[in-house]
Amino acid sequence: MFEIELGLIGNKKTFKFDLPHSGKKIGVMVSGGLDSAALYYLIKKFNIDNNKQNEIIPIIILREEGSKTHALNVVNYVDNIVNQTSSSIKQFDFNKQVQPHLEVILATNLSIRQFDNLYIGVIQTRPEHAIGITVYKPKETDKLTYPFADLDKSHIVDLISKLHQTKLFGLTISCDKGIDCKTCNGCRERAWGFDTMKIKYYKI
Ligand SMILES: [Zn+2]
């Protein structure tokens, strides 16, 4: 069991994380954003360090322009530092037809049968960062796991810092439009996370 204290006074969370014992086929959603990057690193590293011997397969949702590059960069970076290349990468492209939270649901439904477990890095979204969108409400099942469901963006920024993986800040993008616009929900939430933790804001 991995356990760590995250966040500042007034908003502290004890984050606990574990993986199945061994030999499972585990899918991890990697979007090119900060949360899924933290989750992918955590799962790969924990699996190896604890000799769990699960097969970890990244699932990439190709979002707006640029996200393909970011998601693949995250996968390549993490695979390189844990010294374990992914045997395969599953990719979805919904061609901007659906909102991001629906993309996650679609990708989940389309890939769930192929995995023993599916991990998704959905975090708690504050109302001011969910203007005009429906917030994705995670529902855990025996197959679906949302380890970050109780964490907000400041906790994710803190987690990445404490895991000494700040390079992921520069490898990821949180913009809903894929351009680091600084005004969309994703950009404002990312900036809030860094500001809250008093960490210099890392743009894409
Ligand atoms: Zn933006």
- For residues 25 and 54, is the Cβ–Cβ distance under 8 A? yes
Ligand 1 mean position, distance from CA 173 (Å): 9
Residue 41 pLDDT level (bands cut at 50, 70, 90): very high
Domain boundaries, given as residue ranges, for the chain: 21-196
Q: Which CATH superfamily is domain 21-196 in?
A: HUPs (3.40.50.620)
CA dihedral 201, 6, 8, 161 (to 10 degrees): -30
Average pLDDT over residues 64-69: 66
Closest CA to 186 of 146, 148, 135: 135
Please report where in the chains the tokens 């895991």 appear, as a residue. 163
The residue among 200 and 152 whose pLDDT is bigger is: 152
Ligand 1 mean position, distance from CA 142 (Å): 34
Say if residue 34's pLDDT is above 90: yes
Average pLDDT over residues 103-107: 84
How far is the C-alpha of 101 from the C-alpha of 94, rounded, in Å?
12
Say if residue 100's pLDDT is above 80: no
Ligand 1 mean position, distance from CA 93 (Å): 20
Ligand 1 mean position, distance from CA 156 (Å): 18
How far is the C-alpha of 84 from the C-alpha of 98, rounded, in Å?
33
Q: What is the pLDDT of residue 47?
A: 96
Read off the pTM: 0.94
User: What is the end-to-end Cα distance of the chain in Å, rounded?
Assistant: 32
Find residue 90's DSSP bridge partners. 59
Closest CA to 117 of 32, 54, 71: 54
Q: What is the pLDDT of residues 151-199, one digit of tens each?
A: 999 999 999 999 999 999 999 988 888 788 999 999 999 999 999 999 9
Residue 102: Cβ within 10 Å count:
14
- Give the CA angle between residues 57, 191, 12 to the nearest 5°: 75
How far is the C-alpha of 97 from the C-alpha of 106, rounded, in Å?
11
- For residues 60 and 89, is the Cβ–Cβ distance under 8 A? yes
Ligand 1 mean position, distance from CA 188 (Å): 7
Q: What is the pLDDT of residue 180?
A: 83
Residue 68 pLDDT level (bands cut at 50, 70, 90): confident
- For residues 2 and 38, is the Cβ–Cβ distance under 8 A? no
Ligand 1 mean position, distance from CA 178 (Å): 7
Average pLDDT over residues 61-85: 86
Strand 25-30 with 13-17, pairing: unpaired
